[in-house]
A and B are shown apart, each in its own frame.
Chain A
Amino acid sequence: MSIVPKETIEVIAQSIGITNLSPEAALMLAPDVEYRVREIMQEAIKCMRHSKRTTLTASDVDGALNLRNLEPIYGFGSGGPIRFRKAIGHRDLFYTDDREVDFKDVIEAPLPKAPLDTEIVCHWLAIEGVQPAIPENAPLEVIRAPAENQIYQQKDGPLIDIRLPVKHVLSKELQLYFQKIAELTMSKSNPSLFKEALVSLASDSGLHPLVPYFTNFIADEVSRGLNDFLLLFNLMHVVRSLLQNPHIHIEPYLHQLMPSVVTCLVSRKLGNRFADNHWDLRDFTANLVALICKRFGNTYVTLQSRLTKTLVNALLDPKKALTQHYGAIQGLAALGHNVVRLLVLSNLEPYLSLLEPELDAEKQKNQMKSYEAWRVYGALLRAAGLCIHDRLKIFPNLPSPSPSLLNKGKGKVINTEPNKRKLSVDSSENRSPRKRLIATDGSDGGPSPMQVDRPTGDANPPQNSVHPSSSEQASGGNAPESRNAKENQGSKGRTITRKAILDQIWKDDLDSGRLLVKLHQLYGDRILPFIPSTEMSLFL
């Protein structure tokens, strides 16, 4: 009906003391109110035009009221246009900001300056049809599209300002923010605060102008601080937070960011001290790389291929350090099973043969080296295992174990790692305490020294028949150094059945079967925990 709702009429009636306005009367009044308002506005626009303005002011409305012989509305004649504020919670409700002023303040305030008096300034807008380049005239390039040579010509004119390439103005707040974050990243002294900062980086909007500064900062610090493990870890956390922030459009800066990230993955040496757990950093960075590929792989088609190329090159180069190999394997593994199957498994056999001597405690006297080799071996096993797990999982008629279990297992990896390191470094003497430790965990599953020990334990409770064997196997395979001998002893009796199982699978799925056989050949029983329990139980 009318754009003035009848509620408004009722409110107005109440405000002027009419309490008994009937709804019908309000309904009748509403259209008339609208008409009168429109009439006043029509006259006000006339007044505005005659005042040679294009903005309607309160004085125009007063003028219109005057034309209609009505009393003007007092209190709005401020000269300039009125500033309206939006009422919070309403889409189209506005009010004028009308502050309460303390009378005392007004009296005590110094007298305001008298407004400047009107004056006339004279200048030449044009001389014989040509606009002179004086400050009073509008700069020419605003009007005309600046052709190349035109700008050149105008350089002679002293007063024309030529626009430089867009200058990035960073607000004071952002500058401070950047400084603070950079400080926190560098200082490493306040981890809790740094965590807060990461949360802020990952969630705050409006950080976009800082992205180029951050990428620059990260690139600089990574290249400078390769010896500083904590710094690198912090930097990678910053990268991850930036990637997580939904308000940041990081794509244009990826090409600057990627080298630093890949460096943290496959660099020969990360960190200075022996205690620096650079494995963690590599694992973390591998996930980061996978995240980037997942998010931007669609827009940058070459991103993943270039990355895998780098990683495979690092992996297949025997001259590269084992740490580099580890990083490359983790990076590839994080990229998904297909990548692993295509790039890692195909090269698995020659690589393992290369790795073999390093693994052997007798041949490799350097414990450090040996440990590194075992880490690499573990990473490879995990990658291959996950891959085969995934392959087998796709059997249509078999219920698969929930992936969360697997994740849970992975989660444990980190917890057990210090143990493992100790274990491997201290060689086999420590075996019994470790065994006890795991036993006290309440798990009767086989504590394989490699990453995925939990799935076997947790996923297999109903699978009682396997338990002995798996624990047996675990106890056998626990000491990597003596793998061949012990394992063979421990699981001799089962080998034949397993072969049968493998053959079965091979019949079912030639491809994955072959793969499995191959893996089994290479890894022996260690691969078995990766095979989903349900499938396993079926075959048993």
Chain B
Amino acid sequence: MDPEQVDEFVMGYLKKKGFNSAAKHLQESLHNNNGSSFSSIDYPNDPELTKLIRSFSQSENDPSRYREGYSKLRSWGYNSLDLYKHELLRVMYPVFIHCYMDLVGKGHTQEARSFFNSFRKDHEMVHLRDLQKLGGVLAPSHLQEMEFARSLRQSKINIKICQYSYDLLIQYLHRTESTLMLGIINEHINFQVYSGQPNSASDDIEAVTIVGSFHEIADHVNQKEIHWGLLEDSLEDRLEKTGGLLSDSEKGQGESKAGDDSKKRSAEIGKQGSSTKKLKKDKAGAATTKVARQETSTVLSSMPRVKPELAMPVMSTDVEESILEDLRNRVQLSSVAMPSVSFYTFVNTHNGLNSSSISHDGSLVAGGFSDSSIKVWDMARIGQAGSCALQDENNQTVGVNGRRNYTLLVGHSGPVYSATFSPPGDYVLSSSADTTIRLWSTKLNANLVCYKGHNHTVWDAQFSPFGHYFASCSHDRTARIWSMDRMQPLRMMAGHLSDVDCVQWHPNCNYIATGSSDKTVRLWDVQTGECVRIFIGHRSMVLSLAMSPDGRYMASGDEDGTIMMWDLSTARCITPLMGHNSCVWTLSYSGEGSLLASGSADCTVKLWDVSSSTKLTKAEEKNGNSNRLRSIRTFPTKSTPVHALRFSRRNLLFAAGAVSKHSS
């Protein structure tokens, strides 16, 4: 390298960087010394240095360098050894999006767009939705504005990579002097190098899907302890202990006593731990009855038991009795004993039905409509009307034409996005685009309370398994816990990076799970309001959630039709259940947790055998036997997307949906 050339490069660099005075001085000194200013350094013999100088002197803003660098890296990656290829290709996606965002950030919109379009095909299969979002980013200001892009820019992506792959990559980058790519990789990727052979390509779901900032956080969060066991002294327990002898007089007395207690304490029901004493007493009373079902109790009693962190509402005796009665009559379901499915079809909805739900006994059906109304049908009465009509024709005409056969609840001022029943079916909770949640009484057919607190559309609201408390989630990216007697929320769960689309209670009421448009599911501790688990793996918006009755597993369904089974304690996906090809609107576990039902926009109800997951031994779990969960039955409807599913306590499956005439 000529000394003159070096001088030129240095001059160019200085000028470009704005060191005008330095450049001037250099020029002067060059004139004085006649071109030997750097004689002190042995630069001709130092190739690294010349390279460095050369690279600096190249115009740094040249947008074509990104394309060049990336396409080189890409072709290198695709030509690398098969064994390490998938690991190396994992690096491509982050490099790709950061190259794009760099280009956008520097204002080369045109180049950014052409760069994006020429390489997006590579990543579309896995990251389609992210790419769709990023495709709209065209100006530097958009990078600042868009949450997703910002989080990508600010965070590092973790990539697990084996030692050899890592060495290969670094070697390549150094050898080819692609400082630009090296810079991007250094800046945005955090390699977790491990020794040994690379992982097989199939189990890299996490590595593929995680692009956000929270891998580390998630790892950290998921270390936290959770108690997924059922509540002490649940009704199931009581059933086992009492066996068939419900008419036991002693128990009846205990129950009524508890009722008295509850009346006394109803004023202070929001406070914690108020009912523990009562529960203990109950337990003592129940323990005196000696009859127990040996077979079932062995399974259930092995489960850990936890104490409720919230003050639990007290059930009235007759409600409890009816529940116990239902439990006693529950049909045992398994992969060979299928449930019956009763389908409620909404007709003439004129595209206005946003949501529907079914009460626990299937007697009430509620629909939330886009015209702000809620309609509640009493299916038992409809059945009666039918039978009456047989006797009296006049009666029938009145019933069908003269009067509506549903209860119209008007109060919201925006589309109603959810309407759900309290466990005993005496209340309806509705959430709407008018940012409010309303509580309605099905007995009085009137609005009782309007809960205001969310700042945006409330997408979903769900009662806790024991009533009284409810959770809501909203476009404002929070989920909130409420109790029926307070106007203000009790807890606020913030942390999702996008809309919180669905919410579900854990059976022991100590946790809620939320699914979000940021493609994650989170588990929150109700008492502390902390996030205790982050479930990463979905590739699109999470639309539905269900908790297994034993509290150990969770199922979540997304926009693409994938259902994921999660182990709550490890925050790992047991297996994705593939089969639906459109949005999974609803999920429901059967009473004893052996079957999972899913309803989808592809007009089918599918039943999945998930009983094996609960009996999975530790050894099997380690073997990674993932084919144990399977679809056992598909029930197609004529042309009705399935909006809601509910297993009754007796294990009858109710389904609801609105006929869509235009489905082809």
Q: Spell out A's residues near B (CB within 8 Å).
A: 1-2, 31-32, 34-35, 38-39, 42, 46, 49-55, 57, 59, 63, 66-67, 79-81, 115-131, 136-138, 142-143
Q: Are B349 and A49 in contact (CB under 8 A)?
A: no
Q: Are A125 and B655 in contact (CB under 8 A)?
A: yes
Report the Cα distance A127→B331, complex, angstroms. 13
Question: For residue A116, which residues in chain B have a CB less than 8 angstroms away from its CB?
Answer: 347-348
Q: Are A52 and B354 in contact (CB under 8 A)?
A: yes
Q: Are B636 and A138 in contact (CB under 8 A)?
A: yes
Task: Give A141 Cβ to nearest chain B Cβ, in Å.
Answer: 11
Smallest Cβ-Cβ distance to B400: which chain A residue? A119
Other A-B pairs beyond A79-B351, A125-B341, A126-B635, 13, CB < 8 Å = A2-B113, A46-B501, A50-B459, A52-B354, A52-B643, A55-B662, A81-B662, A119-B348, A122-B344, A128-B338, A137-B637, A138-B636, A138-B639
Q: Are B351 and A67 in contact (CB under 8 A)?
A: no
Question: For residue A35, which residues in chain B have a CB less than 8 angstroms away from its CB?
Answer: 136-139, 142
Q: Are A137 and B638 in contact (CB under 8 A)?
A: yes
Out of B138, B456, B662, name the residue touching A34 (CB < 8 Å): B138
Q: Are A124 and B353 in contact (CB under 8 A)?
A: no
Q: Are A50 and B354 in contact (CB under 8 A)?
A: yes
Smallest Cβ-Cβ distance to B112: which chain A residue? A1
Given contacts A63-B415, A115-B350, A136-B638, contact A128 B585 (CB under 8 A): no
User: What are the interface flags for B180-197 relative to A under an 8 Å C-beta threshold, 1 for contact and 0 otherwise?
Assistant: 000000000000000000
Question: For residue A53, which residues in chain B have a CB less than 8 angstroms away from its CB?
Answer: 351
Task: Give B52 Cβ to nearest chain A Cβ, in Å.
Answer: 35
Q: Is B242 an interface residue (CB 8 A)?
A: no
Binds A, one of B26-34, B287-295, B319-327, B374-382: B374-382
Report the Cα distance A42→B348, complex, angstroms. 29
Q: Are B345 and A123 in contact (CB under 8 A)?
A: yes
Q: Spell out B's residues near A (CB within 8 Å).
A: 109-110, 113, 133, 135-139, 141-142, 337-355, 365, 367, 369-370, 375, 377, 379, 382, 404-406, 414-415, 417, 433, 456-457, 459, 475, 499, 501, 517, 541, 543, 559, 582-583, 585, 601, 603, 605, 607, 633-639, 641, 643, 655-656, 658, 662
Q: Are B341 and A54 in contact (CB under 8 A)?
A: no
Task: Give B543 Cβ to nearest chain A Cβ, in Å.
Answer: 6
Given contacts A31-B139, A52-B641, contact A128 B347 (CB under 8 A): no
Given contacts A35-B136, A117-B404, A138-B638, contact A129 B338 (CB under 8 A): yes
Question: For residue A54, which residues in chain B have a CB less than 8 angstroms away from its CB?
Answer: 582-583, 601, 641
Q: Are B138 and A32 in contact (CB under 8 A)?
A: yes
Q: Are B109 and A1 in contact (CB under 8 A)?
A: yes
Question: For residue A130, which residues in chain B have a CB less than 8 angstroms away from its CB?
Answer: 338
Task: Give A224 Cβ to nearest chain B Cβ, in Å.
Answer: 47
Q: List 25 A-B contacts (CB under 8 A).
A: A1-B109, A2-B109, A32-B141, A35-B142, A38-B135, A46-B517, A50-B354, A51-B354, A52-B641, A59-B370, A63-B433, A63-B457, A79-B352, A81-B662, A118-B367, A121-B345, A125-B343, A126-B338, A127-B340, A129-B339, A129-B340, A129-B633, A131-B635, A136-B343, A142-B636
Q: Are A2 and B138 in contact (CB under 8 A)?
A: yes
Q: Are A118 and B349 in contact (CB under 8 A)?
A: yes
Q: Are A79 and B350 in contact (CB under 8 A)?
A: yes
Q: Are B139 and A32 in contact (CB under 8 A)?
A: yes
Q: A-B pairs with the 5 shortest C-beta distances?
A: A129-B338, A31-B138, A38-B136, A125-B341, A125-B343
Smallest Cβ-Cβ distance to B133: which chain A residue? A42
Smallest Cβ-Cβ distance to B379: which chain A residue? A122
Question: For residue B641, which residues in chain A have a CB less than 8 angstroms away from its CB?
Answer: 52, 54
Task: Give B28 Cβ to nearest chain A Cβ, in Å.
Answer: 41
Report the Cα distance A46→B474, complex, angstroms. 12
Report the Cα distance A32→B144, complex, angstroms. 13
Question: For residue A138, which residues in chain B have a CB less than 8 angstroms away from its CB?
Answer: 603, 636-639
Question: For residue B662, which residues in chain A have a CB less than 8 angstroms away from its CB?
Answer: 55, 81
Q: Are A126 and B404 in contact (CB under 8 A)?
A: no
Report the Cα distance A130→B338, complex, angstroms. 8
Q: Are B136 and A126 in contact (CB under 8 A)?
A: no
Q: Are A57 and B340 in contact (CB under 8 A)?
A: no
Task: Give B400 Cβ to nearest chain A Cβ, in Å.
Answer: 9
**Among A52, A123, A131, which residue has the most Cβ atoms of chain B within 10 A?**
A52
Q: Are B343 and A123 in contact (CB under 8 A)?
A: yes
Task: Give B545 Cβ to nearest chain A Cβ, in Å.
Answer: 14
Smallest Cβ-Cβ distance to A51: which chain B residue? B354
Q: Are B582 and A119 in contact (CB under 8 A)?
A: no
Q: Are A49 and B338 in contact (CB under 8 A)?
A: no
Question: For residue B601, which residues in chain A have a CB less than 8 angstroms away from its CB?
Answer: 52, 54
Task: Give B582 Cβ to nearest chain A Cβ, in Å.
Answer: 6
